[in-house]
C-alpha cells in the first residue's frame, strides 16, 4: 500500500499553492483543488509517517456530509472528481474555528478537571464528570493559527478584536448549531453520538460558505450509543470513534506536542494499525465498506482528475 505524503504538481493556469497540515491546495483564480494527503497531525504537529488510505477516507466522508448538509448551509464544493480530491470555491477563511460541544469530553474535560468552569466565555455547571452530556450544546471557538497551536477564544474577544463582524459571527453561530443538530441526527442513524466537532467558514463573493471537512473522525469525536449510559454510570471510558486513539498512543509514549518532547517511533506495524482504524471509521460513519483501489500510479490519477476538472 502506498501513501500520499506530498504532491508537487504544476498545472496550466495555476495561480497559487498552499500546503496545510494534511492538505495540498492548488489555486486557479477563484476556484481551488484540494488534495487530501495521507499526512496525519495530532496536537497541531504533523507526524513523520503518512497513513495509507487516510486521505481518501476523510475526503469521501466529508463529501457525503457536505452533500447532506448543503440545504442548511451553502458549502464550498463544486465537485469531487477523485477519492482524494475536492474542487471548490476559493473562500477567504474566517480566522476562527467554530467548535461545538454537546458533551464534556477531550480538551473541555481536561479544562474542567483542572478546576476551570468557564471555557471560551461559556460557564459550565458544577457536578459534571467526563463524557457527561451538557445541558445544551455550547460553542467554544478557537483561533485559526497558521503555525503552532490554535487557542481558545471567547465570542466577546472575537468581536472585541474585530476578527469577525457581529453580523457575520451571529450567522456563524446559527450555522454551527444547525450543522451540529444535523450531524447528531446523522450519527444517531449509525448508532453513534456526535460528541463534539469543529466547523470552518469562509466568504466568497460576499456569501458565507462552510469550508474544509465536515463531521469526519479527524474533525469530530464520536461515541458509540450502545452502552453509553451504562459506561457513564460505571465511570468507565466511553467507546470512541475518532482520531483520539492516535492522541492516546502519543500520550502513552510521552508526546503531547510540547517543547522538548519527541514523537515516538511510528513503526510499520503502528502505521498499518492506524490505517486499518481509518478504514473501520469509514465503515462505521458511512455504513459502507471502503472500496478497493489500485495503488499503482496514485499521483498520476490525482493529477489527471484535477486537469480534467479545471479545463
What CATH number did the domain enclosing 222 receive? 3.30.470.20
Is residue 125 included in any domain, yes or no?
yes
Is residue 89 included in any domain, yes or no?
no
Q: Are 39 and 49 in contact (CB under 8 A)?
A: no
Is 1 a residue whose pLDDT tops 80?
A: no
Is residue 127 included in any domain, yes or no?
yes
Is residue 121 included in any domain, yes or no?
yes
Count of domains for the chain: 1
Is residue 200 included in any domain, yes or no?
yes
pLDDT in tens, 216-245: 988 999 999 999 999 999 999 998 887 878
Is residue 295 included in any domain, yes or no?
no
Domain range for 184 = 94-241
pLDDT in tens, 167-225: 999 999 999 999 999 999 999 999 999 999 999 999 999 999 999 889 998 899 999 99
Is residue 215 included in any domain, yes or no?
yes
pLDDT in tens, 21-55: 899 999 999 999 999 999 999 888 999 999 999 99
Is 149 a residue whose pLDDT tops 80?
A: no
Is residue 250 included in any domain, yes or no?
no
Amino acid at each position: 500500500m502506498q501513501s500520499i505524503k506530498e504532491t508537487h504538481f504544476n498545472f496550466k493556469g495555476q495561480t497559487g499553492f498552499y500546503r496545510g497540515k494534511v492538505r495540498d491546495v492548488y489555486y486557479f483564480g477563484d476556484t481551488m483543488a484540494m488534495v487530501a494527503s495521507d499526512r496525519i497531525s495530532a496536537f497541531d504537529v504533523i507526524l513523520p509517517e503518512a497513513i495509507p488510505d487516510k486521505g481518501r477516507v476523510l475526503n469521501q466522508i466529508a463529501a457525503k456530509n457536505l452533500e447532506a448538509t448543503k440545504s442548511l448551509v451553502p458549502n464550498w464544493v463544486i465537485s469531487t472528481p477523485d477519492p482524494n480530491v475536492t474542487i471548490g470555491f476559493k473562500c477567504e477563511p474566517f480566522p476562527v474555528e467554530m467548535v461545538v460541544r454537546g458533551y464534556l469530553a477531550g480538551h473541555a474535560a481536561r479544562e474542567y478537571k483542572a478546576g476551570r468552569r468557564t471555557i471560551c466565555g461559556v460557564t459550565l455547571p458544577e457536578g459534571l464528570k467526563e463524557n457527561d452530556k451538557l445541558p445544551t450544546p455550547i460553542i467554544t471557538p478557537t483561533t485559526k493559527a497558521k503555525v503552532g497551536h490554535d487557542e481558545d477564544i471567547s465570542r466577546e474577544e472575537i468581536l472585541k478584536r474585530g476578527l469577525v463582524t457581529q453580523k457575520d459571527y451571529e450567522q456563524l453561530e446559527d450555522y454551527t448549531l444547525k450543522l451540529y443538530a444535523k450531524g447528531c441526527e446523522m450519527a444517531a442513524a449509525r448508532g453513534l453520538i456526535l460528541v463534539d466537532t469543529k466547523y470552518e467558514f469562509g466568504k466568497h463573493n460576499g456569501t458565507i460558505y462552510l469550508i474544509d471537512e465536515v463531521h469526519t473522525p479527524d474533525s469530530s469525536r464520536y461515541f458509540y450509543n450502545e452502552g453509553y449510559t451504562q459506561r457513564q454510570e460505571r465511570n468507565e471510558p466511553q467507546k470512541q470513534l475518532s482520531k483520539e486513539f492516535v492522541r492516546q498512543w502519543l500520550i502513552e509514549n510521552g508526546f503531547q506536542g510540547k517543547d522538548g518532547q519527541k514523537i515516538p517511533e511510528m513503526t510499520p506495524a503502528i502505521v498499518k494499525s492506524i490505517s486499518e482504524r481509518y478504514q473501520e471509521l469509514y465503515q462505521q460513519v458511512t455504513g459502507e465498506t471502503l472500496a478497493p483501489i489500485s495503488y499503482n500510479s496514485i499521483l498520476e490519477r490525482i493529477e489527471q482528475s484535477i486537469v480534467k476538472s479545471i479545463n
